[in-house]
């Protein structure tokens, strides 16, 4: 190669690869419906170093852009696909509906145990179903036949309960177990109460009902659930 000449084939291939990456990202975004773009797709479980666009325990929607600086990293957990991504190194992340499109940064992905129903917060409809279930249990005591609305795969829930109010968690299949926690709005980011940080765990296999303000949900703790700070996406209980 002549002195001062550039490696044109290598340069061309680099530009081509970058264009392909951008095209893939744009293609993924084109598949996202407007409705999906408005709904939370993933939760940010961890942020390390220089990261712009998100903070710890933020919900992110499809098409959101996250930039990671040198030495930075994030952990994203998708609510529907149960895909948990550890993304590290300088690069750009575009949030999808079930996985991220990542440019330059390194991605290590794994499947975790989670219930895709937690992609939706407890709505008026789900609370209504829970209320009906609770009335039937209180009247007949037949908790063994109750179908839970959600399964948690960690025994120490991370409860999303925004603002002030009383959080009540009672066990349905074993009489007498009941917890009442008065929340004053000082929970993490004003809405997250982590049972793991309080060294509190529910019983694996147990059937429970949670109530906060007008929200209610009936959930079961998986029989293999472990206490403590297990992956957030598997123990998230959204009371909104």
Model confidence over 73-88: pLDDT tens digits? 999 999 999 999 999 9
Summarised one tens digit per residue, pLDDT across range 10-30 is 444 444 444 454 454 555 444
Q: Enter the pTM of the model.
A: 0.79
Confidence of residue 102 (pLDDT cuts 50, 70, 90): very high
Give the model's pLDDT for residue 143.
62
Summarised one tens digit per residue, pLDDT across range 169-196 is 999 988 888 999 999 999 999 999 999 9
Mean pLDDT (whole number) for 90-116: 96
Tell me the C-alpha distance between 184 and 50, whole Å.
Answer: 32
Tell me the C-alpha distance between 76 and 79, whole Å.
Answer: 10
Across all residues in the chain, what is the average pLDDT?
Answer: 84
Show the 3-state SS of the chain.
CCCCCCCHHHHHHHHHHHHHHHHHHHHHHHCCCHHHHHCCCEEEEEEECCEECCCCCCEECCCCEEEECCCCEEEEEECCCCEEEEEECCEEEECCCCCCEEECCEEEEEECCCCHHHHCCCCHHHHHHHHHHHHHHHHHCCHHHCCCCEEEEECCCEEECCCEEEEEEEECCCCCCEEEEEEECCCECCCEEECCCCCCCCCCCCEEEEEECCEEEEEEEEEEEECCCCCHHHCEEECC
Confidence of residue 163 (pLDDT cuts 50, 70, 90): very high
Summarised one tens digit per residue, pLDDT across range 21-71 is 445 455 544 444 444 457 899 999 999 999 999 999 999 999 999 999 999
């Amino acid at each position: 190669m002549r002195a001062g000449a550039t490696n044109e084939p290598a340069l061309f291939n680099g530009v081509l690869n970058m264009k392909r990456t951008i095209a893939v990202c744009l293609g993924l975004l084109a598949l996202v419906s407007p409705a999906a773009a408005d709904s939370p797709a993933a939760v940010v479980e961890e942020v390390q170093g220089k990261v712009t666009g998100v903070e710890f325990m933020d919900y992110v929607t499809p098409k959101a852009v996250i930039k990671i600086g040198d030495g930075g990293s994030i952990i994203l957990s998708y609510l529907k696909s149960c895909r948990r991504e550890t993304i590290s190194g300088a690069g750009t992340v575009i949030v999808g509906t079930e996985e991220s499109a990542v440019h330059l940064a390194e991605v290590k992905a794994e499947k975790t145990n989670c219930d895709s129903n937690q992609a939706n917060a407890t709505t008026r409809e789900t609370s209504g179903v829970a209320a009906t279930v609770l009335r039937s249990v209180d009247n007949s005591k037949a908790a063994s036949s109750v179908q839970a609305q959600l399964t948690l795969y960690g025994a120490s829930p991370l409860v999303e309960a925004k603002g002030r109010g009383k959080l009540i968690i009672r066990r349905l299949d074993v009489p007498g177990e009941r917890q009442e926690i008065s929340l004053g709005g000082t929970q993490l980011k004003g809405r997250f109460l982590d049972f793991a940080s309080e060294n509190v765990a529910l019983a694996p296999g147990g059937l429970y009902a949670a109530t906060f303000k007008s929200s209610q949900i009936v959930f079961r703790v998986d029989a293999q659930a472990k206490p403590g700070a297990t992956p957030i996406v598997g123990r998230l209980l959204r009371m909104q």
